[in-house]
Amino acid sequence: MTDDNEADPSPDAEILHNIEPEPDAAPRNPAKRVALGVVVLLLALTLLYALSDRMAPSSSRGIVSAHVAQIAPRVSGEVTEVMVEDDAVVQAGDALFTLDARPFELAQRQAEASLATATQGVNASSASLVAAQAAVTQARSSLDTVRSDADRTARLEERGIVAKAQGEAARAKVSDAEARLQSAEANLAAARAQLGPDGAENPAILAAEAQLERAQYDLASTTIRAPHYGVVTNVTLSAGQFIGAGNPALTFIDADAAWVTIDLRENQLQDVAAGDPVHLLFDAVPGQIFDGRVQSIAWGINPGRSVQGGLIVNQPSNRWFEPARRIPVRVELTGGMEAWPRQVRVGGKVHAVVFADGTGNPIALVARGLQRLRSWTSFLH
């Protein structure tokens, strides 16, 4: 029998009884946060890399460059004496080495004899003419050397590499050399006037004078001198060695004109222009950063394509991406050659940052900070 007092369960109670409690929410996966953070970091680094290439391009492939010349004698001969040692610092006009002067002395004596023979027909002495011609040859040779050095100094002065006082001193030397040449030419004209009207324009005498001048010039060329202030290197000469005319005998490095050549990718050059400030870090001077400026940007490079049979040879590539072309950019130190550290050598490695958009923007600040960190670590490698 059923109990009348027991009430039937209500519908709401039955519904609540059938509802099971929901399980707790699944714990969040931390790997998703890490992956998202990595993606955001990669995007930020990519953006920073792209902006730095435009606003503060940098390169660790900078090279210290300078004018390098192969010194060769103008005449052939046997080396009799070498006045310099390897890596010696020389001034303009310093003697580097000498050749055997005996053959050229004989040629000069022969030219003097020819001139004496030519002047016998006009009953005049050739002694004063020989001396005057020698003075002219020496003055002209000295003027050529001084003028070449002055032209080079003037170009460096225009670019701010050398001081204005140095340029003025070089121009004063040219004026002094020109005055000496004019004085020597006046003495030569006076010596010719002593020959009389028949001798001054005598073709035989004029030919003998030209032969004598050439013999004197060849004799003077047996002493090879430094073209200007610099350093001689790769000195392998020794007494008794024969050197042909025009054959390089030693290497000369200009000490008054040095710069840094950096290679930038083409897409890094969009905003780079001459005059932009540059910070330079030399491997030879770790921990110290030098100020410079962009002097020029190369107008072209050699892509290395060859020609055969008048046609360009195809260059098959097995790379997925063609490597970027790099264009040389010439950078000079602020303050000229006086600012160059003595530890730096030609061919040394340089890290450079070009501030194409100024030095006060956030990208430039980051680039400066990274380069400063690099300067500290450069003590270790």
pLDDT at 277 over 60: yes
Please report, rounded to a whole number, the percentage of residues in the chain having pLDDT higher than 70.
Answer: 87
What CATH number did the domain enclosing 235 receive? 2.40.50.100
The answer to whether residues 164 and 261 belong to one domain is no
pTM given for the model: 0.70
- Residue with the two structure tokens 């001034």: 91
Instruction: Determine the average pLDDT of the residues in 164-181.
Output: 83
Q: Which of 182-191, 228-237, 258-267, 363-372 has the lowest mean pLDDT?
A: 182-191
E strand or H helix that includes residue 329: strand 326-333
Q: How far is residue 225 from each of residues 95, 99, 349, measured CA to CA in Å? A: 4, 12, 31
Query: Of 99, 125, 98, which is closest to residue 112 (Cα–Cα)?
Result: 125
pLDDT digit string, tens, across residues 115-148: 888 777 665 566 777 788 888 888 888 888 788 7
The answer to whether residues 238 and 286 belong to one domain is no
Query: Of 243, 252, 237, 238, which is closest to residue 222 (Cα–Cα)?
Result: 243
Q: Tell me, what's the pLDDT at 224? A: 93
Q: Which of 195-209, 225-239, 252-266 has the lowest mean pLDDT?
A: 195-209
Report if residue 283 sits inside a domain: yes
pLDDT at 15 over 70: no
What is the distance between the alpha carbons of residues 231 and 340, in angstroms, rounded to a whole number? 15
Quick one: CA dihedral 352, 358, 360, 366, positive or negative?
A: negative
pLDDT digit string, tens, across residues 302-360: 887 788 888 888 777 777 777 788 999 999 988 777 778 888 889 999 999 999 988 88
What CATH number did the domain enclosing 339 receive? 2.40.30.170
| Count: domains in the chain | 3
The answer to whether residues 295 and 358 belong to one domain is yes
E strand or H helix that includes residue 114: helix 102-119
- What is the three-class DSSP state of 126? coil
DSSP 9-28: PPHHHHHHHHPPPPPPPPPP
Q: Tell me, what's the pLDDT at 324? A: 82
The answer to whether residues 209 and 171 belong to one domain is yes
Q: Tell me, what's the pLDDT at 260? A: 93
The answer to whether residues 90 and 229 belong to one domain is yes
233 or 154: whose pLDDT is higher? 233
Query: Of 255, 231, 224, which is closest to residue 82 (Cα–Cα)?
Result: 224
Report if residue 171 sits inside a domain: yes
The answer to whether residues 207 and 236 belong to one domain is no
Range of the domain at 130: 101-221
Query: Of 121, 79, 111, which is closest to residue 97 (Cα–Cα)?
Result: 79
Q: What are phi and psi of 263, to 5 degrees?
A: -105, 115
What is the distance between the alpha carbons of residues 290 and 331, in angstroms, rounded to a whole number? 11
Q: State the CB neighbour count (10 A cutoff) for residue 210.
A: 13
Q: How confident is the model at residue 1 (pLDDT cuts 50, 70, 90)?
A: very low
Please report, rounded to a whole number, the percentage of residues in the chain having pLDDT higher than 90.
Answer: 29
Q: Tell me, what's the pLDDT at 244? A: 92
E strand or H helix that includes residue 112: helix 102-119
The answer to whether residues 238 and 144 belong to one domain is no
Report if residue 47 sits inside a domain: no
pLDDT digit string, tens, across residues 59-69: 998 999 988 88
The answer to whether residues 164 and 234 belong to one domain is no
What is the distance between the alpha carbons of residues 101 and 222, in angstroms, rounded to a whole number? 6
- CB under 8 Å to 214, separation ≥6 — which residues? 111
Report if residue 308 sits inside a domain: no
Report if residue 373 sits inside a domain: yes
Which tokens hold the place of 2? Answer: 């059923």
The answer to whether residues 197 and 286 belong to one domain is no
The answer to whether residues 94 and 182 belong to one domain is no
Report if residue 15 sits inside a domain: no
Instruction: Determine the average pLDDT of the residues in 35-58.
Output: 86
What is the distance between the alpha carbons of residues 281 and 370, in angstroms, rounded to a whole number? 12
The answer to whether residues 108 and 92 belong to one domain is no
